[in-house]
Amino acid sequence: MKNVLIVSFLFLVSVFAYGQTVKSIEAKAVENKIQIDFKIAGLKYNQNILNIDVFVKRVGDKQFEGPMEFVSGDIKSGLRNGDHTIYWDALKEMLIEDAELIFDVRIMVEEEDIVRKFMVMLAGNTLTPLGLRLGQLGKTSWYVEARASLQALETTAYTYSKDGILDYDQTGYYELSGNNGWQAYSIVAGVTKQVHRHVFLYAGLGYGVENYIIEINNYTYDSQAPVSNSWANYKEYSTSGIEIDAGVIMNYKRL
């Protein structure tokens, strides 16, 4: 005669020392096995599940029995937050015909120490594409960053405005060459914050300079070819002041 599994279920939410929970425990009979669906929540990026055990007791019993041995499914280490399923071959382990059961799914968690690691990376944007960021990643750490434009090292000899160059001091005259650009640079310092195993936020405060510069060709009155060139700072389009820096760093793979 074939045994038939006839059970009803009550459920228990397990809360653990590090704040993880096993919740939404639901069970049903499937082909003479009990399918136990559950959800793991609150597992942090530096915490790993070492073991998962199923305990059971009949209504009215004082203590749980277990851990159950004839289980399969999501019972291995390495599970993360989310929905999981365990199958228990109940007829091989307990006489539970026409019983009302309470399940407890327990997890063993190991917490890794977070080690700060030194960071060196390129940094830049459309205005200041040449940059370097140094600092540390892990927990709450620090970083410093310096960026510059392609024309950051050009020296401006004059000041340009909508009325032209008012401080031009050459004996000849000048013409605009049509070569314009940004003389920009900045330096920033701030903090990094680890929010996931491979994801970090950063935010910083610093000082930046953005000068719009134009190139001029210098001529003498007895020469049709330019004798030299100079740079002028277009004052109306130039600025300097406090700079705010923020973003996300994803640590994918060590090079």
Q: Where are the domains of the chain?
A: 7-111, 117-250
What proportion of the chain, given as a percentage, has pLDDT over 70? 89
Q: Is the pLDDT of residue 13 over 60?
A: no
Do the Cβ atoms of 191 and 244 come closer than 8 Å?
A: no
Contact by Cβ (8 Å): 99, 10: no
pLDDT at 188: 97
Class of 117-250 per CATH?
mainly beta
Question: When comparing pLDDT for 9 and 232, which is higher?
Answer: 232
DSSP strands (E only) in 59-155 = 71-73, 82-88, 99-111, 117-122, 130-137, 140-148
Which pLDDT band, with edges at 50, 70 and 90, does 98 fall under? low
Write out pLDDT tens, residues 189-228. Answer: 999 999 888 899 999 999 999 999 999 999 998 888 899 9
Mean pLDDT of 60-66: 84
Distance CA 67, CA 39 (A): 19
> What fold, for 7-111?
Immunoglobulin-like (2.60.40)
- pLDDT at site 8: 45
The encoded tokens of residue 197 equal 């195993």
Q: How high is the pLDDT of residue 238? A: 93
pLDDT grade for 31, boundaries at 50, 70 and 90 = confident
Q: In this predicted structure, what is the pLDDT of residue 141?
A: 96
Q: For position 7, what pLDDT does the model report?
A: 46
Average pLDDT, the chain: 85
- Residue 148's CB is within 10 A of a number of other CB atoms, namely 21
Per-residue confidence band for 248, with pLDDT thresholds at 50, 70 and 90: very high
Per-residue pLDDT band for 22 (boundaries 50, 70, 90) equals confident
